[in-house]
Structure 1
Amino acid sequence: MTISLFRSLPGAIAAAALALPAAAANWDMPTPYGDSVFHTQNIQQFAEDVAAATEGEVEITVHSAGSLYAHPEIKDSVRRGLAPIGEVLMSRLANEDPVFAVDSIPFLASSYDEARALWTASRPLVEEKLAAQGLTLLFAVPWPGQSIYTEAPVNSTADLQGAAFRAYNAATERLAQLMGAVPTQLETGDIPTAFATGRVAAMITSPSTGVSSQAWDFTSHYTDTQAWLPKNMVIVNSGVFDALPDDQRQAILDAAAEAETRGWEMSAEETAAKMATLEENGMTVSAPSETLSAELAEIGATMTQEWLENAGDEGQQVIDAYNAAK
């Protein structure tokens, strides 16, 4: 009797454990940007939606502005399970695989409609590359498009010949070269001083950065090229995600789909609002001329081909799918 009783104890304990409600999941989520940035606001709403949909069984605490992990550390922290979920700029992973740079090829996708088509074409491959590292993509949201700031009007690339052009990575350096400008490496915080001292005469950046740096103090023309719309991705550790009950996983996926739709709308609203602020402060906001558009399209074709040399057949499949969808 005693032996039989002891043998039955493990089974009884296991049954009792299964009968208990699962412990709530409390996820810390590092993000790179401050609370005033629309990406962060969208993620905070996503966290609230997840908590509501799971009745508090999955709680996400957003740690903004790199307060938990710095931007370069976020992806690896999620992969290693140090943080279950996080946000990262997709092109930051370009050194791992060219597919992560596809949304940062200048003039490949130069509007929200084109950016959406490019995302639809590239998303399956992005998901595959992330899955191979134990990561699950939840959603992605673009920044406003990158456009040209100058003191004088730019009607063609000839107007940029020899101009010192702000560069902040390899792609913008190559872009400056193809436009006939002289690339000059410069961080965002140094922009006003560099223009004031003549170190640079032109730059390409978002309307958001233009407003935050008060571009009207040192430039007067904004040419709305929307050269590329780089995206932020929200990723989750696949092991942590797959361990959740089916209904909680589905609730998160549903909230992610809503966050992606909402985020794209917020990005477009951000673009319109910041462009209006530039105009209110005296800047001339204009669409690129036909000549400039044609020249930039050629540059885009050149840089796409250079990207394809690295991306190979996988990259070609993405571009073919994108071109077919446009």
Structure 2
Amino acid sequence: MKKYLKFFTIMLAVLAVMMFSLSVNAEVVKWDLPTVWSATNYQSRCLKIFADEVKEATDGQVEIILHYGGALGYKGPEMLSVVRDGLVPIGDVLKNAQTGEEKFFGITSLPFLAPGVVELRMLQFFTRPVEDRLAEKHNQKILYVVPWPSRNVYTKKEISTLEDLKGLKIRTVSKEDTDLFTLLGASPIQMPWGEVVTSLATGVIDGVATSSASGVDGKFWEFTGYASRWNWHSSCDMVNVNLDAWNKLSPELQKIIETKARELEPQFWKLAVEENKEKEKILIEKGI
């Protein structure tokens, strides 16, 4: 009898260890992902698709919680350091706004090097290996990138000649943009997206250099009447994960997330192009 009791005691102990192991393995990893863009912006829609796909593919073991419109208080130019320092485990990073940390991330802002998505995609073949190394230097990993296909200059008056630009306070994103507009005679002001609409409404700036999608997000037709589509460059958002958070995942979960990011990226590029066309139509309908 004692022999059987000892056997059952051992079996119960083994079962308890197995149940504990299963509960640990099934623990849900929750990642907060901040973005400065509104929930309706196509970049945010791509984030939502990615988060949903990751949750499904990992059977709910990895859950990405999205925070739109700068809700966590982080500004666009800060995101490389925010992810690096582990303030968030994953983040949406506007690449050419990070030149304060790494000048190379401004390469797509060089005038007319990549004025459209085709040129930008070709450029990516050469720049991505360098960007991956730079991301690792900053304790993070690039999962995927999504382009901003167009570049417009929104102003209250029509820009027909260089003379029309003189003295205009134009919001810019990167140092490269700022240098270009300075050479053209404007008075550029580098500014994160979260400050743009208020600054435009209060007259702090006279115009904005940004995409068609952002023009719709900001309802620029309420403040400006013209959009000059110059397309002097294209840019990208990177979705980067902190390496400390990444390395806590099992190799199996890492592979699932990497595969999902690789599969979705071409779809996101297509969505960006389609969305850009739709937003241009809206701007025209609104009188810009």
Q: TM-score, normalised by structure 1?
A: 0.70
Distance of aligned partners of 1:77 and 1:177 in 2 relative to their CA distance in 1, 3 Å threshold: closer
DSSP 3-state at the match of 1:128: helix
Which consecutive unaligned segments of at least 5 residues does structure 2 have?
A: 1-9
Distance of aligned partners of 1:31 and 1:262 in 2 relative to their CA distance in 1, 3 Å threshold: farther
Separation of aligned partners in 1, 2:54 and 2:81: 23
Q: Is 1:31–1:88's contact at 8 Å kept on the other side of the alignment?
A: no
**What's the CA shift for 1:73?**
5.3
Cα-to-partner distance string for 1:179-205 (whole Å, 9 max, x where unaligned): 23344677522224539xxx73x5432
Structure 1 residue aligned with 2:3: none
Task: Give the superposed CA RMSD.
Answer: 3.1
| 1:50-129 matched pairs, under 5 angstroms | 50-71=54-75, 74-129=79-134
Q: Is 2:149–2:273's contact at 8 Å kept on the other side of the alignment?
A: yes
| 1:183-198 matched pairs, under 5 angstroms | 183=188, 188=196, 189-194=198-203
Q: Is 2:38–2:217's contact at 8 Å kept on the other side of the alignment?
A: no
Separation of aligned partners in 2, 1:75 and 1:69: 14
Q: Is 1:191–1:213's contact at 8 Å kept on the other side of the alignment?
A: no
Which residue of 235, 254, 257 maps to 2:259?
Answer: 254
**What's the CA shift for 1:276?**
0.6
Separation of aligned partners in 2, 1:213 and 1:85: 25
Separation of aligned partners in 1, 2:98 and 2:159: 35
Separation of aligned partners in 1, 2:150 and 2:53: 28
Separation of aligned partners in 2, 1:185 and 1:270: 26
Separation of aligned partners in 2, 1:139 and 1:124: 13
Which residue of 162, 171, 177 maps to 1:172?
Answer: 177
Separation of aligned partners in 2, 1:217 and 1:20: 58
Cα-to-partner distance string for 1:151-207 (whole Å, 9 max, x where unaligned): 3353x5x45363524133533332122223344677522224539xxx73x543222
Q: Percent identity?
A: 29
Structure 2 residue aligned with 1:20: 21
Which consecutive unaligned segments of at least 5 residues does structure 1 have?
A: 1-8, 284-326
Q: Is 2:30–2:64's contact at 8 Å kept on the other side of the alignment?
A: yes
DSSP 3-state at the match of 1:164: coil
Separation of aligned partners in 1, 2:81 and 2:183: 34
